[in-house]
Amino acid sequence: MRVPARSTAVLLAAAPVLALLPATPAMAAPAFQMPFPCGQVWSGQTRTNHSPANSVDFNRTNDEGDAVTASAAGTVARVENTGSTSYGLWIELDHGGGWRTRYAHLSGEFVTVGQSVAAGQQIGTVGTTGGSTGPHLHFEQRLNGVDQKITFNGSQITYWGTANYTSRNTCIGPSGTVNTSGIALTVRSSASTSGSSIGSVPDGGTVFISCYRRGTSVTGTYGTSDIWNKVGAGYIADAYVYTGSDNPVAPAC
């Protein structure tokens, strides 16, 4: 018996349908700015033997303890300490869409994992921890775990070589200078000496104060005060911070 040929319509119906789906567009980078307060000038160096290659090292004169700020708004993803190797004290921020930034060789960290940070908010201080041979900030921009060539304000930095850059990041709050005669100043979770430690600021470090609270009275370098300045996610005793005033220099929290 001869089997009748299947109609073209049936054959088409039986064939698998291959849908042509549009490619998912790459997520645009956030509006990254330099990881320093507004107006500061820093020398940035890139080199082919850097690890990772697209990272940049930032320096300026007497930079140990200088403020490090969020390059863009995001969430604190990592707050790490590798001791005397690798990055040393380092922080990673998640900016969404696969984009992250890393800040390494810090002398102080004062944010906590899961905390939301605004662009320009201070997250730590420049140092020379880990495998560093001198104070500087090692900075990376990463997409889906891969280091990218760095851009600030929409413009790519110099590859390969050294150039000066002026920060156009946001400045949040007035500044102060920590003076403890040598020891690091503890950043606490509350305005109290009994608050848990969430990090530290080195002697001579610069802090940007977002607001203040009244708490435990502390006697320090600048007398006795119950003012506690909020820096990053925590508080430091105002008695150890030179702000040019005996009164609060920022609004109440």
Question: Going by C-beta distance under 8 Å and a sequence separation of 6 or more, which residues neighbour residue 2?
Answer: none
What is d(CA 17, CA 157) in angstroms, rounded to the nearest whole number? 47
Tens place of pLDDT per residue across the chain (253 aa) = 444 444 444 333 444 444 444 444 456 889 999 999 999 999 999 999 999 999 999 999 999 999 999 999 999 999 999 999 999 999 999 999 999 999 999 999 999 999 999 999 999 999 999 999 999 999 999 999 999 999 999 999 999 999 999 999 998 899 999 999 999 999 999 999 999 999 999 999 999 999 999 999 999 999 999 999 999 999 999 999 999 999 999 999 9
What pTM does this model have?
0.86
Angstrom CA distances, 11 to 3, 18, 106, 129, 131, stand at: 15, 15, 67, 69, 67
